[in-house]
Amino acid sequence: MTTQETTTFTKANTSISVAHGDGIGPEIMQATLSILKAAGAPLEFEEVKLGLKVYEQGNSSGIDTTAWDSIRKTGILLKAPITTPQGGGVKSLNVTLRKTLGLFANVRPTQSFAPYVPTNFPKINLVIVRENEEDTYAGIEHQQTDEVTQCLKLITRPGCEKLIRYAFEFTKSQGRKKLTCMSKDNIMKLTDGLFHKVFDEIAADYPDLTTEHMIIDIGAARLAANPEQFDVIVAPNLYGDILSDIAAEVAGSVGLAGSANFGQTASLFEAIHGSAPDIAGKDIANPSALIRAANMMLVHLGYNDIAETIENALLKTIEVGIHTADIYSDKSTKKVGTQEFAKAVIERLGQLPEQLPVQKFTASAKIPQISKKAFDPANRKTKQLLGVDIFLHWYDHLRDPNILGPALEKAAIKPFSLKMITNRGVKVYPEGLKETFCTDHWRCRFLANPEGSSQPKDVINLQHALSEQGFDVIKTENLYSFDGKRAYSLGQGE
Ligand code: NAD
């Protein structure tokens, strides 16, 4: 068998790439494709190989060029979950796909199917729009000293603008009323602060929608305790990931939630759950999440009627109590396996649920283009170099900042002088508190005097001078102002 195999089901007028995945992936994909076929979806399927088998062939990205070619050509990937091998040396294929294809918006609807699927919240009907390319998921991590590792959290204005505009467009186009932004901008004032600021800016263009902002910790708590109050939630990558699993779990099962990933040129549709190796090969997995992801794909392709037929047959199947093991309860009438569940859905194509709300899909929201403003040099701000944070690996056995501080004051060269030293963000010199625990990782802040008198070469000279004095410089971060506004955080206690 070649790595790419074509199966034509019906009138072949839209090609999509299909990845059968690992673990329960092939079983739930088989079930999903059988339903698409029975519903007469006018699709042509190109099978692509990615995941565990590709990793095991020594390809550390988990995807080969044939698969990339197919996805580039079709622009659509229907993907079953894959298993990410444990241990170092391999990159997460899911993150690679999202970032390489520019799939910036991850749309994760969640609803409850009460009383047929047990939940404390019978009226959940919400969507999480999660940023998909940035944040700590940029995967830029370093070990800097014996004791300290770091992960860079990147939040960009173009990234926020396209994601948040998409979230507003989505809310409006789906006839939804409220968009809640969640961030932690009380602590991360620059990164999460930018996300919140862009949310407020774009909200001004949508006066008919209700908007609100919640700090992520209370927002997540409310989502767990009272999910029915939410309509659409938009959040940076990491928070959005956690929020959508909370939402799916409190609605009944992660086995029921599908998701869509949208970019300018490609889209990817998948279940939110993983490859469930604990139940793989047993024909007991619930295929509903992948079926619902396939329905999101059909809506994206403009086949709303077919998506509605499948979704309503799925709801009817759940309503009559035909359930896979994960949602089997005293409300169930029959426990079925993966393929039998698919067969039950196929038998109900054309039927509508009687108790659960009949599903009607509206067209997908349009994908916003990146604002041209972002690339216009006329919008560049005036940047001024004010100083530099120099990070040192210093492991004096006493770990006493009152030894390090005076030594750095002596070693500093013009126009810089030492302003402070922090350890894990807390000021420890001058006038630190002796209770503060110090690691071997020191952030030493040097400011230019007079303000703004420094040039980039002065930073290099300072770094050189410190190295000459025996200091182990591991990293530097320049300190700027933009349009006269300080653009770096203060140390705690500074
Ligand atoms: P998981 O979602 O695979 O499983 C968590 C639990 O939910 C397990 O008990 C499993 O049996 C159950 N479950 C999941 N899907 C189910 C379904 N459709 N029907 C019935 N029960 C279901 O999460 P995990 O165990 O943390 O991860 C397993 C593997 O999946 C890992 O290698 C992980 O990296 C990968 N993963 C892949 C994706 C993806 O491809 N998009 C997403 C998440 C995790």
81 CA: nearest ligand 1 atom: 40
In sequence order, which residues have a C-beta less than 8 Å from that of residue 434 and are 6 or more positions away?
Answer: none
Sign of CA dihedral 68, 74, 76, 79: negative
CB-based burial label for 96 (10 Å; 0-12, 13-18, 19+) = middle
- In this structure, the residue with its CA closest to atom 4 of ligand 1 is 276
CA of 244 to the centre of ligand 1 (A): 14
- Select from 246, 273, 339 the residue to mutate for testing ligand 1; criterion: most ligand atoms less than 8 Å from CB: 273
Tokens of 338: 């993966």
- In this structure, the residue with its CA closest to atom 1 of ligand 1 is 274
DSSP per-residue codes, 310-360: HHHHHHHHHHTTEE-GGG--TT-SEE--HHHHHHHHHHTTT---SSSPPP-
- Per-state percent for the chain, helix, strand, coil, to nearest 5: 35, 25, 40
| Ligand 1 interacting residues, C-beta cut-off 6 A | 24, 81-84, 94, 254-255, 270, 273-279, 285-286, 289, 326
Q: Cβ distance 168 to 206 under 8 Å?
A: yes
- In this structure, the residue with its CA closest to atom 38 of ligand 1 is 274
- Mean pLDDT per segment of 10 residues, for the chain of length 494 residues? 43 85 97 98 95 88 92 96 79 85 94 90 95 90 94 94 96 96 96 98 97 98 97 97 92 84 95 93 96 96 96 96 92 95 98 94 83 76 95 90 96 96 95 92 96 92 96 96 94 76
271 CA: nearest ligand 1 atom: 41
Secondary structure letter of residue 86 according to DSSP = S
24 CA: nearest ligand 1 atom: 18
pTM of the entire structure?
0.90
Going by their DSSP bridges, the two strands 76-79 and 14-19 should be labelled as parallel
Give the whole-angstrom CA distance, residue 306 versus residue 295: 8
- Select from 52, 245, 254 the residue to mutate for testing ligand 1; criterion: most ligand atoms less than 8 Å from CB: 254
pLDDT confidence of residue 379: 81
CA of 24 to the centre of ligand 1 (A): 9
Count of Cβ atoms closer than 10 Å to residue 131 Cβ: 27
Which amino acid, residue 286? N
3-state secondary structure of 372: helix
pLDDT confidence of residue 87: 67
- In this structure, the residue with its CA closest to atom 32 of ligand 1 is 83
Give the whole-angstrom CA distance, residue 126 versus residue 403: 56
- In this structure, the residue with its CA closest to atom 16 of ligand 1 is 255
In sequence order, which residues have a C-beta less than 8 Å from that of residue 238 and are 6 or more positions away?
Answer: 135, 136, 137
pLDDT confidence of residue 12: 53
In sequence order, which residues have a C-beta less than 8 Å from that of residue 305 and are 6 or more positions away?
Answer: none
pLDDT confidence of residue 366: 84
CA of 260 to the centre of ligand 1 (A): 17
Tokens of 121: 């919240």
Q: Cβ distance 93 to 84 under 8 Å?
A: yes
Phi and psi angles of residue 322, each rounded to the nearest 5 degrees, phi first: -85, 110
Among residues 63, 69, 137, 53, the alpha carbon closest in space to that of 103 is found at 137
- In this structure, the residue with its CA closest to atom 23 of ligand 1 is 274
